[in-house]
Amino acid sequence: MKHPIVSVIIPTYNVQDYIRQAIHSALDQTLQDLEVIVIDDASTDQTVEIIQSINDSRVHLTISPENHGPSYSRNLAIKRATGEWIALLDGDDWWEKDRLERMLKAAEAHQADIVADDIRNFVEGETNPWNETHLGKLKFELPKWSVSAVDVIQYDLGPLKPLTRRDFLLRKGLHYHEDITYGEDFVLLLECLLHGATMLIIPDPLYIRRAWPNSLTAHRQRSTECLIKLTETLLSKMKAKEQEYLMVEICPEVINALEKRLKKQSDSYLYHQLTEPFKKGNPLQAACQMLGLMLRKPRSVAIMAEKVPDILDYRVLRHLKRPTVGKDLGIPDEYQTDNNPDESREWS
């Protein structure tokens, strides 16, 4: 039996408004030799019924009786995949039509184990929903054909959604850590690089990530706190040389990069503590809270000063740079929606 070139993995949980677009963005790729493996994590809405209504033999659905989280779903999908490559797609995101074809050509040309592209952010519910890209927001130029483990840490490449050779994951025994509830993509990508994977990045944003203003604001402190704990755990394990965890020799440069990442995350958490009160209520009360925090933690003054250019860019300049209409950027009419997301969802 002939196996497909790509296995597209889609974990789903309560994404009834978006799952049809996600699946069709995979099925409608210019590269047609693929399978779509959907693992539904005990959705309580109409997600499963919508998936079952898609009449395409390349779509394979598994329904979990209990909710386990995205890491479990992805691991299960990888076990059932038969393609040469594993492609990640979240159930509320979508791809440009030629994404797989362009990424595979680059991967084969450079004999890479992993190939990633940039991510364009689409903020659901905004009048002008197109935000900056992930790599563009970082304002750096990454060497396209040579990505290291230090690069993954330093430039925060965890949010990227790469294509990975399935054989590499199997040979190295790598998988998602199901005990990690936030930042699992970062850990797996880092482990792949530490185990010798060759990785390249093409600069074009071919993956479209859907986001919501409310969730980004409400959970920013919580997500940053989770990332801090994750980085602290990684540092602790690496410094203790727990080879059962990574099974590789950890170079000092990696530990140094993680320490810098931890400092940056801690500064980010302090910044959110400073600014969140302004988003929730009385400006005078928020100003008093900010002043109190600055007195208790003098480092926050320098952090706030450093953030002024970024605040100006985000609040003013980004509106001059973003595209203005979704239709011109590949959102078919039937996929555009005014529906609000289910705020009870814990992951997407």
Which residue, chain included where needed, has tokens 């019924």? 49
pLDDT at 330 > cutoff 70: no
Worst-scoring range by mean pLDDT, 31-35, 259-263, 339-343? 339-343
Worst-scoring range by mean pLDDT, 139-148, 179-188, 262-271, 331-340? 331-340
Neighbours of 332 (CB within 10 A): 13
pLDDT at 241 > cutoff 80: no
- Cα 225–chain centre separation: 17
Token pair for residue 205? 């944003």
Q: What is the pLDDT of residue 272?
A: 67
Residue 208 contacts by C-beta under 8 Å, 6 or more apart in sequence?
A: 93, 94, 95, 96, 119, 120, 122, 330
pLDDT at 21 > cutoff 70: yes
Q: What is the mean pLDDT of residues 21-33?
A: 98
More confident residue, 1 or 14: 14
Residue 182 contacts by C-beta under 8 Å, 6 or more apart in sequence?
A: 223, 226, 227, 230
Residue 100 contacts by C-beta under 8 Å, 6 or more apart in sequence?
A: 6, 29, 30, 31, 34, 87, 163
Q: What is the mean pLDDT of residues 289-311?
A: 66
pLDDT at 337 > cutoff 60: no
Worst-scoring range by mean pLDDT, 29-43, 124-138, 162-176, 331-345? 331-345
Q: Which helix (H) or strand (E) holds 188?
A: helix 184-194
Helix (H, G, I), strand (E, B) or coil at 116: strand
Residue 195 contacts by C-beta under 8 Å, 6 or more apart in sequence?
A: 172, 174, 247, 248
β-sheet bridge partners, residue 1: none
Tell me how far apart the alpha carbons of residues 244 and 173 are, in angstroms, rounded to a whole number.
12
What angle, 0 to 180 degrees and rounded to 10, lies between the N-to-C axes of helices 252-280 and 220-239?
160
Which residue, chain included where needed, has tokens 């159930």? 91
**Domains in the chain: boundaries:** 6-211, 218-321
Per CATH, domain 6-211 is 3.90.550.10: yes
Q: What is the pLDDT of residue 284?
A: 67
Q: What is the mean pLDDT of residues 137-156?
A: 81
pLDDT at 58 > cutoff 70: yes
Tell me how far apart the alpha carbons of residues 246 and 330 are, in angstroms, rounded to a whole number.
41
More confident residue, 90 or 315: 90
Q: What is the pLDDT of residue 288?
A: 72
pLDDT at 329 > cutoff 50: no
